Structure 1
């Protein structure tokens, strides 16, 4: 069986596909991947023996160098992405039995259009539940399109969300579909998700409440045991003293950049702890030459987080899940999108602290670290770690090959 996995987004949108791809191949499937043309994504997939076909622009370049997403530039970005999909993906999807799409809304709607053109079975998946139209919560507002403050009914807000998505991406999608000989779409959001979207998150961290309006399959998070050894220099630092606090913001271009690193290092030191700085896409680095501080690039977070006192991060679904599975207390400094949700879940579960806002200061981080580094939080983090499942990718692979979705 041949499977095409498609995504467009940050590392958090690509890494789960690594787990799913490995499990699919273990079950005998041939796997192809379309993703942003970023070198680190290609290298990661090459590491499991899968080549990636690039679509759209570099996700890292858009995140770190371009103006932030806005009502003005989102339609253009969507048009460029969908045009790339419609040009590149049909040849990649030719002969495939199923196409699974994740990532930004234009990406999944564009991918479904390719599947429709070729008559390929289609499944959509998300790595957080906030974009699924549930009457139990408010939708996220798109940049430049805030919801009217007087509207509080959740169903009405979701109707407005659908209107915003159509206004931002409808023209781009229809233009791309026209190149494939397909008619326009009414309702971009519902078209992209399809009748039965998948939710690839851990039920203990992100429980889905069944609702009559939407049939959702929760598979669990798509992760793999990471056997990569930690670099020798990092191991030497870890072995040289008490467990440090890790500070890293992944593929986020963190506001205030190095100032955030400075505040974090000072706050961690004030707690009497050593510091590990994760460079990430924000390019964070050491603030001085102190022996209690060490900087790392791409490393095995599964192994690393088992050896730290706490993890200060941006609140991506993958980092949150990895830290939770490792039993590491967390401080989440959310930057955008679903990250405030994951910050709130960390606090609600008692496994860490939700930082108030996206701008970290010495005072705000000190307060959050005091909570995360408390014995009660450490005990709760260890307890929750035992409930986090590790079979989500295999479950999803079996469902995909079995025809579910």
Structure 2
């Protein structure tokens, strides 16, 4: 079985969970993902082979390419998918495709070429057409402000995707003996996409247009102990506030670390900075600040006063499951959606904009640190599903055993 993605840590980590569950059920699994060292180490740690595809996701993100370069980058990603996924998928029964739209389109095309059953998966529902909400606009291609009908906006979204990625995909498809695709988004989403998110945190509004299979989030229990130095810091005082922005480089705020430290101190708390792709670090040697790298967030988030983060699906789910109040500082893509869900559920605050000041972040922290928010976060934590990866693994094995046709389209 081949699990294919291209994206950040939030696109790779769920596949780690699914791969482990599939192996526990007796399946042979390999993962196609960017060649970043962190991804290779993570997969090696659970004994799953990595087939590298495309350039480093971290380097691509930090480079912040111009919106006008999207078609060129799409062509490179799709060509890489045809090369790497074709070799990796030989002998597989099912291909699971997720990640960036052009990469998923390339992987699904490879499955079609090889005659392999495939499943299209998303880790956030904003790529699934729904009359209940508008789509996300692609960088450099804003929607006309006078258009408010969601169905019209989704049609414009499909047109944008075709303009951005259509030539790149169809050039590779024709070169590989496949017919061109007219509507790329519809091809990738298919009639029965899987939504790997928690139904409480991310409820899917039923739509007559799609038969969505919501499995729950794919999360692997993390048994790693926290580093001794981190434990010593945690035990040296009251629970600190965690601040980390994951795979976001934080271009909008060059002094993000100092802003965070000042905001947390204004609330009378110690601060725990996660370096991440933004390379956050406190200025100088300060007793009330501590910086960490890769760490067991599941264990850590149960020991902090609040979690300040960018609003990635994985971090939002981990903090929610841990019962930690949150402040979401959304940077891009689906992150404003997750910020809205956190605020709507009463388990934290959504910061207005991607570049907080010490004052604005401190104000949001005041909401998150309120006793009522902690109580609500604890209550919601008890409702989050923890079996999503197991549900998905069993469904995939069922796809094989029943010999079902192509699932994604």
Kindly indicate whether the alpha-carbon contact (under 8 Å) linking 2:264 and 2:270 is maintained by their aligned counterparts in 1. Answer: yes
- Map Cα deviations across residues 135-159 of structure 1 (whole Å, 9 max, x no partner): 1100000011000111111000000
Q: Which residue of 1 aligns with 2:123?
A: 127
How big is the shift at 1:69? 4.5
Distance in 1, Cα, partners of 2:78 & 2:230:
41
* Structure 1 position 260 matched with structure 2 position 252: no
Q: Which residue of 2 aligns with 1:67?
A: 64
SS in 1 for 2:377: helix
Q: Which residue of 2 aligns with 1:136?
A: 132
Picking from 357, 375, 381, the partner of 1:379 is 375
- Map Cα deviations across residues 257-293 of structure 1 (whole Å, 9 max, x no partner): 5511111110101111000000000111112311010
Q: Which residue of 1 aligns with 2:54?
A: 56
Distance in 2, Cα, partners of 1:103 & 1:69:
20
- Map Cα deviations across residues 359-384 of structure 1 (whole Å, 9 max, x no partner): 01111101100000000000000000
Picking from 13, 25, 43, the partner of 2:11 is 13
Distance in 2, Cα, partners of 1:86 & 1:325:
37
Distance in 1, Cα, partners of 2:204 & 2:150:
17
Report the CA distance shift for 1:15/1:355 in structure 2 as closer, same or farther (over 3 A).
Answer: same
How big is the shift at 1:189? 0.4
Kindly indicate whether the alpha-carbon contact (under 8 Å) linking 1:257 and 1:283 is maintained by their aligned counterparts in 2. Answer: no
Q: Which residue of 2 aligns with 1:396?
A: 392
Matches within 5 A, 1:272-283: 272-283=268-279
Matches within 5 A, 1:159-198: 159-198=155-194
SS in 1 for 2:299: helix
Distance in 1, Cα, partners of 2:71 & 2:123:
23
Picking from 227, 234, 247, the partner of 2:230 is 234
Kindly indicate whether the alpha-carbon contact (under 8 Å) linking 1:312 and 1:330 is maintained by their aligned counterparts in 2. Answer: yes
- Map Cα deviations across residues 302-360 of structure 1 (whole Å, 9 max, x no partner): 00000000000000000000000000000000000000000000000000000000001
Distance in 2, Cα, partners of 1:258 & 1:274:
21
Distance in 2, Cα, partners of 1:69 & 1:313:
25
Q: Which residue of 2 aligns with 1:249?
A: 245
Structure 2: gaps spanning 5 or more residues: none
* Structure 1 position 300 matched with structure 2 position 296: yes
* Structure 1 position 356 matched with structure 2 position 352: yes
Matches within 5 A, 1:101-112: 101-112=97-108
Distance in 2, Cα, partners of 1:144 & 1:256:
17
Q: Which residue of 1 aligns with 2:2?
A: 4
* Structure 1 position 218 matched with structure 2 position 214: yes
Distance in 1, Cα, partners of 2:387 & 2:84:
32
SS in 2 for 1:281: helix
SS in 1 for 2:337: helix
Kindly indicate whether the alpha-carbon contact (under 8 Å) linking 1:201 and 1:221 is maintained by their aligned counterparts in 2. Answer: yes
Kindly indicate whether the alpha-carbon contact (under 8 Å) linking 1:244 and 1:274 is maintained by their aligned counterparts in 2. Answer: yes
Distance in 1, Cα, partners of 2:111 & 2:104:
10
Once superposed, what is the RMSD of the aligned Cα atoms?
Answer: 0.9
Kindly indicate whether the alpha-carbon contact (under 8 Å) linking 1:34 and 1:53 is maintained by their aligned counterparts in 2. Answer: yes
How big is the shift at 1:115? 0.2
TM-score relative to the length of structure 2: 0.97
SS in 2 for 1:353: strand
Aligned length: 401
Q: Which runs of 4+ in 1 moved over 6 A?
A: none
